[in-house]
């Protein structure tokens, strides 16, 4: 049996002299998009909430969704800082930011998805 190379791009399977810096820049761009979407979703929620109906159902989903979006926004900003410092050549420092940044990126994605599902559930209940 031969070992097939993993398709997941991590620091460990990039060839030496590799292009992890390019990946860090792409992750940074993804984080920028997530922060924009989180902030836009919160603004949309605030404007729609007042105009939806007189007696909305499941009102607890709105604060839950806002909270998830805020934490997602914070995690994406934290990941952006990690990827930015890594792509500027601070690799190999004792606190290598790439692993922490990847974990923050994953947390931001999951929380953004959960916030979106909470918002969708609220809309489904009230429309």
Could you read off the pLDDT of 25-51 as tens digits, one per residue?
Answer: 788 888 888 889 888 888 888 777 777
Tokens 């993993």, located at residue:
6
With cut-offs at 50, 70 and 90, classify the pLDDT of residue 10. low
Per-residue pLDDT averaged across 59-78, rounded? 90
The pTM score is 0.71
Return d(Cα 88, Cα 90) in angstroms, integer: 6
DSSP codes, 98-127? HHHHHHHHHHHHHHHHHHHHHHHHHHHHH-
Domain extent for 117 = 21-52+61-126
CA 115 to chain CA centroid, nearest Å: 11
Answer yes or no: is 84 within a domain.
yes
């Amino acid at each position: 049996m031969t070992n097939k190379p993993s398709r997941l791009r991590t620091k460990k399977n990039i060839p030496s002299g590799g292009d992890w810096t390019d990946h860090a820049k792409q992750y940074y761009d993804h984080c920028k998009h997530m922060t924009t979407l989180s902030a836009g979703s919160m603004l949309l929620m605030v404007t729609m909430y007042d105009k939806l109906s007189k007696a909305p159902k499941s009102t607890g989903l709105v604060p839950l969704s806002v909270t998830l979006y805020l934490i997602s926004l914070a995690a994406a900003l934290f990941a952006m800082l990690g990827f930015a410092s890594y792509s500027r050549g601070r690799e190999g420092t004792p606190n290598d930011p790439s692993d922490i940044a990847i974990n923050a990126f994953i947390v931001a994605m999951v929380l953004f998805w959960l916030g979106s599902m909470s918002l969708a559930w609220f809309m489904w209940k009230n429309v």
